């Protein structure tokens, strides 16, 4: 297999995206370690889900019928792996565009032997729109998305009404959306957007306690020690 590459350099802005939505990420050419490269090449043919603009049979992808959880932004994969390993009764499809993170998650999956994690290296908005069928997901995880802190960039934040409406359409009744952020301003926007979606119901009065299944990251633990806040939001489809 040829050298692992990011799927082009996505630049911010509508004009750079022929698919018509503002991307919430910019692909940076991060360094891929030799281990990440090796596991990427070995594992993506086994657990990678290529983007195709046709509906995906998730049961066929995982080889069984089980609750399907969709994660947008796996980062370096530690949280994704920890959740999947702790919950073998569920199947997890993680979306991550950055090759170092994909390679890192591939390494964790390979070394542990878990069988309920798949990875798609593509824009989550397009995967949701084109590949995920209506009412097929039991849950959605969106942990620490790019906060785009400058006010003029807030339109690039992932959690916006159109995306939430799309997520709701893909959730089974009773399915959940779980977001987490360490930016208070973004948490406020998330709460506003999720509350405004009539098909969703908040599981808490405002922000939710961190569910036990979401482990604390090293970055998060350090922030808590420094007095920084972290906000979880868990909403269910009515």
pLDDT in tens, 106-122: 999 999 999 999 999 99
Q: How far is CA 19 from CA 51, 87, 122, 230, in A?
A: 14, 35, 13, 33
Q: What is the pLDDT of residue 28?
A: 56
Across the range 181-205, mean pLDDT stands at: 97
> What structural domains and CATH numbers belong to the chain?
14-237 (3.40.50.150)
Helix (H) or strand (E) holding 86: helix 78-86
Q: How confident is the model at residue 23 (pLDDT cuts 50, 70, 90)?
A: low
Q: What is the pLDDT of residues 126-148, one digit of tens each?
A: 999 999 999 999 999 999 999 99
Q: Respond yes or no: is residue 91 known to be catalytic.
A: no
Which pLDDT band holds residue 218 (cuts at 50, 70, 90)?
confident
pLDDT above 70 for 22: no
How far from 16 is each of 34, 110, 129, CA to CA, in Å? 31, 36, 19
pLDDT of residue 9: 28
Q: Looking at 146, 182, 212, 232, which residue is catalytic?
A: 146
Return the pLDDT at 10: 25
Beta carbons within 8 Å of 9's beta carbon, 6+ residues apart: 26, 27, 29
């Amino acid at each position: 297999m040829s050298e692992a590459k990011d799927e082009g350099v996505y630049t911010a802005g509508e004009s750079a995206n022929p698919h018509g939505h503002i991307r919430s990420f910019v692909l940076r050419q991060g360094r891929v370690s030799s281990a990440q490269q090796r596991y990427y090449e070995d594992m993506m043919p086994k657990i990678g889900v290529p983007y195709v603009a046709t509906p995906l049979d998730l049961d066929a992808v995982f080889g069984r019928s089980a609750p399907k959880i969709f994660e947008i932004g796996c980062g370096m994969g530690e949280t994704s792996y920890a959740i999947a390993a702790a919950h073998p009764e569920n199947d997890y499809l993680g979306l991550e565009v950055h090759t170092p993170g994909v390679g890192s998650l591939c390494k964790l999956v390979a070394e542990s032997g878990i069988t309920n994690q798949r990875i798609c290296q593509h824009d989550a908005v397009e995967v949701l729109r084109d590949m995920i069928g209506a009412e097929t997901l039991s849950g959605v995880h969106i942990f620490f998305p790019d906060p785009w802190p400058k006010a003029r960039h807030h339109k690039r934040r992932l959690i916006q009404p159109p995306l939430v409406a799309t997520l709701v359409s893909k959730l089974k009744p009773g399915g959940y959306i779980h977001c987490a952020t360490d930016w208070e301003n973004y948490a406020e926007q998330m709460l506003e957007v999720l509350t405004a979606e009539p098909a969703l119901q908040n599981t808490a009065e405002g922000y939710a306690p961190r569910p036990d299944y979401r482990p604390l990251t090293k970055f998060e633990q350090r922030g808590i020690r420094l007095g920084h806040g972290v906000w979880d939001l868990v909403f269910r489809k009515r």
